Amino acid sequence: MSWSDSLSRRLAERRGTSLWRNRQAHQGSDGRLLFTSDGQYLNFSSNDYLGLSQHPQIIAAWQQGAEQYGVGSGGSGHVTGYTTAHHVLEQQLAEWLGYSHALLFISGYAANQGVIAALMEKEDRIIADRLSHASLMEAAMHSPSQLRRFLHNDLDSLKHHLAKTCVGKTLVVTEGIFSMDGDCAPLEAIAQQTRSSKSWLMVDDAHGIGIHGHEGRGSCWSQNVKPEILIVTFGKAFGLSGAAVLCDEQTAEYLLQYSRHLIYSTSMPPAQAVALSEAVRQIRAGESLRQSLQNNIRYFRREAQHLSFALMDSETAIQPLIIGNNERCLALSHQLRQRKVWVKAILPPTVPPDSARLRITLTASHTRQDIDVLLGALHGSDC
């Protein structure tokens, strides 16, 4: 079969189904608004939870970083791509989060791939929460180790898997806050089980860092847990992009020697590292932003009780409404858009079958009136 025939067959299988994905270029967005050629929308699909993507001091820091270092790093960290800006940011992150070492990656996806690929060997096993993010699952599936999935947030299921013998090392993997459900992992109990079986714990706190815990130190800090591997990403509350792995000295050295994502990939621009350092400062001092976000979450949940949609058990910025049927979910998202409210429909396989949802995200930048508009649009929908 020719390349073209093979690709057309696969495209034809998907075209016309609700799984067909579309991108739409827009002219800018922040934690509150999204600007398109059709006008301005209230944005309830952004992970810019604290609205920092538009913060003037972070923008100024990026500009100043670009003046000082130029716009790119020029190589991987092992060649020319590790500057004092990267070094300062790593030290700042390690100190803030209580680890001896932090290593920067260009994205959360790359960090999860880079860490799991480097750490896991053939005789090892990964025991992951079954709702873990695609970047974790894909890394685990591609690694030579065994992959076992425990039922979502289910301690008995985790215990059952841990009780089985494994000749190699075991890595338990979970998220601090689940990206599609918005619920929190019972990290303290997971850490206890993991420790008593002499395994390691890896927590991806993409959605908790900056939001939870003292000075925004995240889900692990707020549950008094220090996993051996903590992943924090900068595309959500930080308002930028990139990620870091927090770990001890030996693990950091190991990753520097063995993680191909660190060795064979251009590091993030130093100007971005300068901006991220400023974002860390803003997050640590950002109690009032966190408070505004919490107030918005509380307000939305209280007022949404009156809707005909069931709320999920989430106290976080992620407030999904499960619709179930793909077509109905898409139609609802479309209706909201006609009312100038932007909420993306999230469909399987990103979420389990029959659980298509409107993934509503709240941010510190939304006002009560914005939330009222969202609630009114949901109330007025006829799906």
Ligand X SMILES: Cc1ncc(COP(=O)(O)O)c(C=O)c1O
Question: Which residues fall in the annotated binding site for substrate?
Answer: 21, 133, 350
> Is 133 one of the catalytic residues?
yes
Q: Residue 96 or residue 109: which is nearer to ligand X going by CB?
A: 109
Task: Give the residue among 230, 252, 242, 248 at the shortest CA–CA distance from 277.
Answer: 242
User: Using the rule CB under 6 A, is 46 a contact of ligand X?
Assistant: no
Question: How crowded is residue 288: how many other Cβ atoms within 10 Å of its Cβ?
Answer: 9
Tell me if 181 contacts ligand X by CB under 6 A. Answer: no
Distance CA 374, CA 346 (A): 17
Is residue 179 flagged as an active site residue? yes
Q: Which range, of 59-67, 105-113, 152-160, 341-349, touches ligand X by CB under 6 A?
A: 105-113
Of 30, 129, 181, 204, which one is the catalytic site residue?
204
By CB under 6 A, residue 227 contacts ligand X: no
Q: What track of x and - describes contact with ligand X for positions 236 through 265 (by CB under 6 A)?
A: -----x-x----------------------
| Binding segment toward ligand X, per CB under 6 A, in 60-68, 104-112, 209-217, 374-382 | 104-112
> In the numeric block, which tokens belong to residue 115?
């860490």
Among 51, 108, 210, 216, the residue binding ligand X under the rule CB under 6 A is 108
Q: Using the rule CB under 6 A, which residue among 104, 206, 321, 343 binds ligand X?
A: 206
Q: Exactly one of 90, 175, 183, 370 binds ligand X (CB under 6 A); which one?
A: 175
179 lies in the binding site for ligand X (CB under 6 A): yes
Residue 69 vs 238, nearer CB to ligand X: 238
320 binds ligand X (CB under 6 A): no
Nearer to ligand X, 126 or 377 (CB): 126
Residues near ligand X (CB under 6 A) are 107-109, 112, 133, 135, 175, 179, 204, 206, 233, 235, 241, 243
Q: Which active-site residues does the annotation give?
A: 47, 133, 175, 179, 204, 207, 236
